[in-house]
Amino acid sequence: MPEGPETRRAADRVHEQLAGRRLEQVWFYFPELAQEAASLIGREVSAVDSWGKALLTRFDDGRVLYSHNQLYGVWKLHDAEREPDTGRSLRVRLVAEGRAASLYSASDVSLWEAHRLGEHPFLSRLGPDLLTHGVTVGQAMSRLQDARFRRRGLGGLLLDQALFAGIGNYLRSEILFFAGLHYQARPVDLEEGALAQLAGAILEVTRQAYDQSGVTNRPDWAEADRRRGASRRRWRFAVFERDGLPCHICHTLIQRYSVASRRLYVCPRCQSAP
């Protein structure tokens, strides 16, 4: 499933396609939404952003279209007169000034008043989005020290969307590696410097994944891997999916574990157990 950076990049593409334009056509597959379609004609798409793995299309009357791609949903952008070549099932189509954005195969779509988004059954359980909500290092440190999170092992905690929205499996491995922390470490046990390093890694690795289309590796390490003929799957990450390969720092072989029912990759020397 795409993680926060991929969802935000998808939101950016839909934003570029529709934002600042007035809707000419609106179509919904879902009966409860279909009755609202006509009321959106003539409304301007004011912005498209994301919260975790959910995409939020905002209209100038204060309403927001919530959509979650889950495993199979995908937005396709196209000219209004040219149907995308796909066998997927159409769920939403928005057309503004000849430009169209069509959502296929998603099942979780709803229309909300912006001021009521906090009541959404999914969004209400999420922590702040690392790319949308302007989280600072200080705020991230404070959140990690919150009573709900501070005594939990980082291997499971980082996947908890109540902590920060958008961190998934590859980000978890990469964040812990660049923070130099074992998955069993707990925020409560970290000195202030280590906590600040963790908070910084959370923000920096997530931002790099967004800026570089999923690449979280250091540029020099990635370039060295490319020169050796490594595939993108290998060179894009520092540790994720690199089990059995040498650590870029110490050359110890990367190990794979199952933590919180998900695979996690660790350098046993750079990330020694607490």
User: Which residues does the annotation mark as catalytic?
Assistant: 2-3, 53, 262
Confirm if 114 and 108 have CB atoms less than 8 A apart.
no
- Using H for helix, E for strand and C for coil, what is the string for 183-235? CCCCHHHCCHHHHHHHHHHHHHHHHHHHHCCCCCCCHHHHHHHHHCCCCHHHH
Quote the Cα angle for 33-35-39, to 5°: 100
Q: Could you give the CA distance from residue 258 to residue 187 in angstroms, rounded to a whole number?
A: 20
Confirm if 92 and 102 have CB atoms less than 8 A apart.
yes
Bridge partner list, 26: 94
Copy the structure tokens of residue 112: 């909300």
Q: Could you give the CA distance from residue 175 to residue 122 in angstroms, rounded to a whole number?
A: 25
Q: Could you give the CA distance from residue 187 to residue 130 in angstroms, rounded to a whole number?
A: 18
